[in-house]
Amino acid sequence: MEILYFILFFCLGACLGGFYTALAGRLAAENYKFLPYTCDACHHNLSLWESIPLFSYVFLKGKCHYCHKKIDVMEPLMELFTGILFMVAFYSFGFSWELLIALGVVSLLIIVTVSDLNYLIIPDEVLIFFILYFIIVQFFSIGIMGVFQHIITGVGLFLLMYFIMWIGEKTLKKESLGGGDVKMMFLFGLVLDPLLGTVAIFLGSVFALPMSLFLLYKNHEKVIPFGPFLLLAFTFLYFTKITPEALIAWFGF
């Protein structure tokens, strides 16, 4: 029975991964209309079988059935990645309130990754939705006082990130962080405690450094989206269930 649950969560994640990829593009383009899946090249409406996660990419040999243009490999990769993370979330948390938080964290990671990497934007609509989502789930999980404490943590992390952005702008004389990165820290506080939220900023910077150096060397690219790396750190910290006490013990404080 547990294997069946793994398969179901993988399929759910793969389906949502394709939806999240399309949603990120539409939000970035400020296209709020509900439209069927279409080919990015010829804009032909895709049939149901052409929209099946992962399998449709294999059946179509990576090309549109109508215009024969290559399908961006990022789409099936996002579907695969989301499916795997949904399955890992179920393995880690089982049927619990923490599972709903984990699925929300993965969903946020996928949407922001696609949006920030491709369009250098983190839509406010996404942040608002997940802020409300985490508050509601946390209310049923830890109660009103627990939610209030997390809101205070979120405000603190927001102010910390805003201060880092301000220091960066004063030092570099240009924009150092996007507003979406700063606002996203409030959302982190709704899930993590103050220490882990602060560690997420540091760990996100560590994750971003190799990619930043690579892009700077290869393409002389100076604008690096930070949101996906922050969320990767956020996901890592939540899924590994690292506690503040364990961090303090490891660093010998």
- Pairwise CA distance, residues 170 & 190, whole Å: 29
Helix-then-strand count for the chain, H and E: 9, 0
* Structural domain spans, the chain: 1-95, 120-253
> Is the separation of the CB atoms in 101 and 134 below 8 Å?
yes
Question: What pLDDT score was predicted for residue 176?
Answer: 67
Question: What pLDDT score was predicted for residue 49?
Answer: 46
DSSP 178: -
- Pairwise CA distance, residues 112 & 185, whole Å: 13
Question: What pLDDT score was predicted for residue 69?
Answer: 64
Structure-token pair, residue 202: 């540091």
- Each residue's pLDDT, cut to its tens digit, for the chain (253 residues) gives 689 999 999 999 998 998 898 888 777 766 555 555 565 555 555 555 455 666 566 665 556 555 556 766 778 888 899 999 999 999 999 999 999 999 999 999 999 999 988 888 898 999 999 999 999 999 999 999 999 999 999 999 999 999 988 887 777 777 767 888 899 999 999 999 999 999 999 999 888 888 776 666 555 556 678 889 999 999 999 999 988 888 887 766 5
- Pairwise CA distance, residues 18 & 200, whole Å: 27
> Is the separation of the CB atoms in 109 and 235 below 8 Å?
yes
Q: Which amino acid is at 147?
A: V
Rg, C-alpha atoms of the chain: 19
- Pairwise CA distance, residues 26 & 86, whole Å: 23
- CA contacts within 13 A on the Cβ side of 78: 25
Distance in Å from the first CA to the final CA of the chain: 44
- Pairwise CA distance, residues 236 & 137, whole Å: 20
3 state SS of 45: strand
Query: In which residue are the tokens 């503040």 written?
Result: 244
> Is the separation of the CB atoms in 182 and 165 below 8 Å?
yes
**pLDDT tens digits, residue range 132-166?**
999 999 999 999 999 999 999 999 999 999 998 88
- Pairwise CA distance, residues 192 & 184, whole Å: 12
Structure-token pair, residue 10: 């993988």
Question: What pLDDT score was predicted for residue 218?
Answer: 57
Q: CA 185 from chain center: how many Å?
A: 13
- Pairwise CA distance, residues 48 & 57, whole Å: 13
**pLDDT tens digits, residue range 167-204?**
877 777 777 678 888 999 999 999 999 999 999 999 99
Kindly report the pTM of this predicted structure: 0.87
Of 153, 199, 160, the closest CA to residue 177 belongs to: 160
- Pairwise CA distance, residues 247 & 110, whole Å: 27
> Is the separation of the CB atoms in 197 and 231 below 8 Å?
no
> Is the separation of the CB atoms in 141 and 50 below 8 Å?
no
